[in-house]
Amino acid sequence: MTAFIAKRMGSALLTLLFISILTFSISHLAGDPASAIAGREASAADIARIREFYGFDRPITVQYLDWASDVLRGDFGQSYHYRQPVSALIMARLPITFTLGVAGLLFALVVGIPLGLLGAIRQNSLIDRFAVLMAAIGQAMPSFWLALVGIVVFGVTLRWLPISGSSGVANFILPSVVLGFFTMPAILRLTRAGMIEALESDYVRTARAKGLRPARIVLRHSLRNVLVSIVSISSIQLGSMLGGSIVIEQVFALQGIGWLGYDATVRSDLPVLQAITILVAAFYVALTLIADIINAFLDPRIGVT
């Protein structure tokens, strides 16, 4: 087990190193940061001065090592646009996106797992068809469209929920549900498929032959196996929620990380863009690492190979 965890951590660190090099080199090859800072009207001399001031004239490997050692100390540099430390900008906006992500995932789990379980236990029943339909629709709807329809129905027509801003709890209901609705199909399908497979397996047949009640079989024997895949998919989904969050924060005028990422992209604010990319990658890598470790405990067979 310890060897397995050590190996996974090693590969996680390697992935992050690779991503950081990739992010850094792509963003520096892509455009001249000096002219981006200077703006359109800057003269060549201005740009040259800025290039020297920020150290863009040094070899790219030196710049990378410099940047990477700062990042390791938690310093992501200064935003070109806001003239503030990037870490401060991110910390200020993190709570909004974090709330969205966690609330969205909770919604997806609370809706997806029970529907998937019920669907698997009563296959081809009405509730199963409803579950499959919900998954299909959830998968087919672009989240920004669902967000706009939600605004029209609950914000404009029914006037139940506020349609933009982040002043209260009610502001987060619609965006979280939209974000969660987009994650729910994967969780529902996985729960349902995993449960069907578990119910068909030999150990459940044995348990049934022993005369255990179906509900007990489901809860004690099958759910544990399904949990492994739910833990994995949830970590992947939570990690990739930022993509959905960029669009949803735009629609609902929520100033979270997704909004900051959009803003930084439009303004070519490289330090902010690099920081967000690295942090999202680190978050994803950490989540999958944790999920793998949880799963190694849930299913002892995993750690062996």
Partner 1 sequence: MKTALEKSPPLRRRGNTKVLVSGTMLFLFVAMALLAPLLAPHDPNAQDLAHRLFQPWGYAKHDPTHLLGTDGFGRDYLSRLIYGSRVALLIGLLVMAISGVIGITIGMTAGYFGGVTDQVLMFVINSRLSLPVFLVVMAVVVVFGPSLMGTILILGFLQWERFAIVSRASTQQMAGSDFVLAARMLGFSHIRIMFTEILPNIASSLIVVATLEMSWAIILESSLSFIGFGVQEPTASWGLMLAQAKQYIFFESWLLYIPGLALVALVLSINSFGDGLGRMMGGGRKS
- 87 versus 240: smaller Cβ distance to partner 1: 240
Mapping DSSP onto H, E and C, the string for 126-162 reads: HHHHHHHHHHHHHHHCCHHHHHHHHHHHHHHHCCCCC
Minimum separation from the CB atom of position 270 to partner 1 (A): 9
Dihedral through CA 191, CA 193, CA 196, CA 199, nearest 10?
-60
- 4 versus 144: smaller Cβ distance to partner 1: 144
Residues 6+ apart with CB under 8 A from 164: 171, 252, 253, 254
Minimum separation from the CB atom of position 288 to partner 1 (A): 8
- 1 versus 14: smaller Cβ distance to partner 1: 14
- 130 versus 145: smaller Cβ distance to partner 1: 145
Minimum separation from the CB atom of position 205 to partner 1 (A): 8
The token pair that represents 115 in the structure block: 């529907």
- 234 versus 277: smaller Cβ distance to partner 1: 277
Minimum separation from the CB atom of position 163 to partner 1 (A): 9
- Residues 22 and 270: their CA atoms lie apart, in Å, by 14
- Residues 182 and 243: their CA atoms lie apart, in Å, by 11
CB atoms within 10 A of CB 268: 18
- 119 versus 303: smaller Cβ distance to partner 1: 119
Query: Using CB under 8 A as the criterion, which residues of the chain lie in contact with partner 1 when the complex forms?
Result: 11, 14-16, 18-19, 22, 26-27, 30-31, 123-124, 136-137, 139-145, 148-149, 151-152, 156, 186, 189-190, 193, 196-197, 199-200, 214, 229, 233, 236, 239-240, 242-244, 246-247, 250-251, 261-262, 265-266, 268, 273, 276-277, 280-281, 284-285, 288
Minimum separation from the CB atom of position 263 to partner 1 (A): 11
- Residues 116 and 195: their CA atoms lie apart, in Å, by 8
Name the residue type at position 72.
L
Question: What's CA 76's distance to the chain center, in Å?
Answer: 21
Task: Report yes or no: 289 and 9 within 8 Å, Cβ to Cβ.
Answer: yes
**What are the backbone angles phi and psi of residue 33, rounded to the nearest 5°?**
-65, -30
Minimum separation from the CB atom of position 174 to partner 1 (A): 13
- 78 versus 250: smaller Cβ distance to partner 1: 250
- 176 versus 277: smaller Cβ distance to partner 1: 277
Tell me the longest C-alpha to C-alpha distance in the chain: 85
SS3 assignment, position 106? helix
- Residues 270 and 260: their CA atoms lie apart, in Å, by 12
- Residues 210 and 217: their CA atoms lie apart, in Å, by 11
Minimum separation from the CB atom of position 27 to partner 1 (A): 7
Minimum separation from the CB atom of position 187 to partner 1 (A): 10
Name the residue type at position 258.
G
